[in-house]
A = this chain, B = another copy of it.
């Protein structure tokens, strides 16, 4: 109880939950949190820690091959809480290539027996200042992909991204905006991802989570820390190290009827440089302290 958490500087305030602890039942390790682990290592690390679910990224999955990857996941008895990721629809020069890539991502999601494909919209095309047009292309792309995804039982899950990423990564910037798109479709076909890092600041976040009832296909947690690390893409922190009110947001997501897994997804150079098992231990402690009680 007096040891420091890794990679945080905050002392551990709760013991590491042991495998089989019922509080871990809905915890999922998003692979990007332990970015230096292969899929096999992430699976083994999750099992060692008693985490029963994993958010799979396509690139490390491709390294072992789809069929081998599925066998490894099945052998370990892990659920796949989401596949990351589809999207990147905003550049007219690559629009049809992006649709093809997304169909492949839908196929992989279905093959893994997962339901949720996370969509990151994409940023402004090079040289463009037309965020309205970029947002329109996201809607068009989703409309074109829905029939394909529906046939395969895959939910296209729009992830609104923090406005810090609006220019270069994700032009869908608020939960309300994501819902405005998702609501054009059946909830079984198009959902939304609620990631605390992306939405915590939004003055409308609580009513929008309520509005999202029946549409939340993934709940992801990570922290907004200050000072913000220099690389915006790697600026996410370990829950508890920053400013986000996980109790309120988690309770709102639960009140909206979400019963799925809770992914911890942290892009952070310090987290990536730390020992994977230590990171998983820390996030499990923080999760049972800060998130799980409010589910």
Residue of chain B at shortest CB distance from A229: B230
Cα–Cα, bound, A222→B12 (Å): 43
Decide: B230 and A173 in contact? CB cutoff 8 A. Answer: no
- Whether B173 contacts A131 by the Cβ 8 Å rule is no
Question: How many whole Å from A139's CB to the nearest CB in chain B?
Answer: 12
Interface class of chain A by DSSP = loop
Is the beta-carbon distance between A177 and B163 smaller than 8 angstroms? Answer: no
Whether B167 contacts A224 by the Cβ 8 Å rule is: yes
The stretch that binds B, out of A14-22, A51-59, A238-246, A252-260, is A238-246
Which B residues are CB-close (under 8 A) to A173? 201-203
In the complex, 22 of the A-B residue pairs with CB atoms within 8 angstroms, ordered by the A residue number, are A128-B243, A129-B244, A129-B245, A130-B245, A163-B163, A163-B164, A163-B201, A164-B228, A166-B200, A166-B201, A166-B224, A167-B201, A167-B224, A167-B242, A168-B226, A168-B227, A173-B203, A174-B203, A176-B203, A177-B203, A227-B232, A230-B230
Give me the interface of A with B, judged by CB distance under 8 Å: 124, 128-131, 135, 162-164, 166-168, 173-174, 176-177, 200-203, 224, 226-228, 230-232, 242-246
